[in-house]
A and B are shown apart, each in its own frame.
Chain A
């Protein structure tokens, strides 16, 4: 069931209890987790935090902790399956689920004892009404009653009764079949597309606000959570802008708090500001030139994988009067005179080159003299840490490192994350360039397909879901910009990359077609399931995003063929 009052029905319930936090491996979940941890610290609510990266982890974690905890809080996992069916908990376990995955499973919506959804009821849900999918089985009883009566002594009166009863029964059965047909249709429509709702971090920030315990740190984490949804293309542009406006109100409120004081804030205090900043990834921690080359938006607009594209970039820089020497330096070392109006200058020139959206609404933070970060910087750094493929690092270690990087006191960790993110972005750009130039993207009819072979440089990076999904999106954008085939521009893209060489598996990701007005709804979850079933391919649907699966390399071709047939 949906929780009406998050303070009364969630926070006050767990106030004197011990809670198990099961947190998924994405940045929004990490931010939500930090906000909740901060609230729990404030009110001395004891908890145990367990990172989970897929359904198996979730099941294991639940089994290990079910004896010791009654209350479980699931962050960014659990909403889109029948959780009670999956975990088979005892009757007194209670699950609070704050998950952006949609659609929310109908059983979770209509269970009113054990499942409490920390989701707003109007969060773009479209849940079918109760009567359309659940039906009391009273009629069944009547039918069997009548049928058993039939067996006993037949009499004239009875026979007449029977005729009426049989007619009514037939009518009931027909109505039932009709209802079931409608139900299947409704459920099919409801569950066909996977998409995302409001950020979990924002939900918990709202809780903090309702409790009047919200701090600037929590606000910053909520902003990072929202930005994660935008960076990884999980929400529509409209939703992003709307949510930014909500966050902007909070930011203004926090900034006004200190305006009346006689002494202004010390430079070390944290300040969050609204920025209408450039869509150049990590540009303040890199050189402007590198950032332009490695940001998806600019790279695709210029088509930097072509010679022509490179020339246009040089023209662009010349047009703005930016000397190459300056632009290739570390951003912080650029001349002040250049940095001063940089955003406006770039915006003006970008318009000339067809890049109308070079600026995006976002937020930045600064504390101390040296430390300035944009929300997207934090997202990229944390994501790089979370999916780091350095040797000897388990997923648990990476989770901890990424979580630490979000605290202001761990700047070293954050900077190492930024370095990893730069490497990752460069790897993405190079892979995109090589895929386009060697025509690795093939049209299979209803979708585009690209397979990264073993031995491709940096292919290890792409054995991780978030990194592969990011590559996939950038690749599709680049493809759309470079192909002349009008039909292909409207196709979705499936990418596969080696996941575990020893086990012979690949990771497969599907994303919806690229469009300005895309609603980001992804049907590949169901499609993958059906294709796997029909070909008995050995697949693992472990990831919380249903559009990401693991597949045995040998079954690749029959799986693809099944998909083609399914989607034609």
Chain B
């Protein structure tokens, strides 16, 4: 049946309801586009035939194919747009450098979109408060205390905090540090917030 491939694309994303980004289904997209091309060509010839030979009994199938074309277009745009939304969420979760395994699942144009989005966001944040700038990707949670206890989950080497002091982040060491300095590393999975 027509449009099945398109719906399958949607289903693929629907299955990953937790916001994960699966690999870009280049094959699937191509197949849908091919189907669209085939449908369009058939319609073109039918329309010509209907006009020329007055075969109005072709009109229902023309209409059907047209509906399928529209549906395919809608499905494709939905698939692509939903992926963009997931990619957008990645900027807010991981920061401006995406982990390699995520990048692997993105096609070239998505990477470009991401790059452009990053730039727009950075530009916006810089311009806040009449040029003062504010990084609104920080402070994602309401601050409960100034300092928090964090545990180092993997070796991360040296890490600088405000006044030039340096901490050595070694696996299994624990530290009591200013909260805002740790947020980024907690999101990246290097540190873990310890709640006693």
Contact = CB atoms under 8 A, between A and B. Distances in A.
Q: Please say whether the chains A and B touch (CB closer than 8 A).
A: yes
Contact of A394 (B166, B172, B173, B176): B172
B196 A46 contact: no
A44 B176 CA distance: 8
A407 B196 contact: yes
Contact of B151 (A46, A67, A400): A400
B71 interface: no
Interface residues of A, number: 24
B175 A41 contact: no
B66 to A, nearest CB: 60
Given A37-B176, A407-B196, A44 B165 contact: no
A41 B144 CA distance: 13
A409 interface: yes
A83 interface: no
Interface in B164-196: 165-168, 170-178, 195-196
A402 B172 CA distance: 12
Contact of B195 (A50, A68, A409): A409
A230 interface: no
B113 interface: no
Determine the main DSSP class of A at the interface with B. Answer: mixed
Given A41-B149, A44-B147, A409-B196, A64 B170 contact: yes
A397 interface: yes
Nearest to B194: A404
Interface in A316-334: none
A101 B174 CA distance: 25
A67 B164 CA distance: 12
A489 interface: no
Given A18-B165, A41-B147, A68-B165, A48 B196 contact: no
A396 B166 CA distance: 22
B171 to A, nearest CB: 6
Given A18-B165, A67-B166, A407-B196, A46 B147 contact: yes
B176 A50 contact: no
Given A46-B147, A46-B177, A409-B196, A396 B168 contact: no
B140 interface: no
Contacts of A396: 171-172
A400 B174 CA distance: 9
Contacts of A51: 172-173
Contacts of B100: none
A327 B85 CA distance: 62
A51 B173 CA distance: 7
A549 B163 CA distance: 44
B170 A46 contact: no
Contacts of B176: 37, 40-41, 45-48
B1 interface: no
A397 B172 contact: yes
Contact of A48 (B167, B171, B178, B195): B167
B160 to A, nearest CB: 10
Interface residues on B, range: 10 to 19
Contact of B167 (A37, A68, A397, A399): A68
A68 B170 CA distance: 14
A49 B165 contact: no
Contacts of B166: 67-68
B146 interface: yes
Contacts of B149: 37, 41
A49 B173 contact: yes
Interface in A386-445: 394, 396-397, 399-400, 407, 409
A49 B196 contact: no
Contacts of A47: 175-176
Contacts of A399: 172
Contacts of A37: 149, 176, 196
A65 interface: yes
B169 to A, nearest CB: 9
Q: Which of A40, A46, A396 has the most CB of B within 10 A?
A: A46
Contact of A65 (B168, B178, B195): B168
B175 A49 contact: yes
A407 B176 CA distance: 17
B170 A400 contact: no
B175 A48 contact: yes
Nearest to B161: A46
Interface in A483-519: none
B90 to A, nearest CB: 30
B174 to A, nearest CB: 4
Contacts of A64: 168, 170
A36 to B, nearest CB: 11
Given A41-B147, A65-B168, A400-B151, A50 B196 contact: no
B173 A48 contact: yes
Nearest to A38: B196
Given A40-B176, A407-B196, A50 B147 contact: no
A405 to B, nearest CB: 12
Contacts of A40: 176
A400 B173 CA distance: 9
A299 B173 CA distance: 40
Contacts of A18: 165
Nearest to A395: B172
24 contacts: A18-B165, A37-B149, A37-B176, A41-B176, A46-B178, A48-B167, A48-B168, A48-B173, A48-B174, A49-B175, A51-B173, A64-B168, A65-B168, A67-B166, A68-B165, A68-B166, A68-B168, A394-B172, A396-B171, A396-B172, A399-B172, A400-B151, A400-B172, A407-B196
Closest 3 CB pairs of A and B: A396-B172, A49-B174, A48-B175
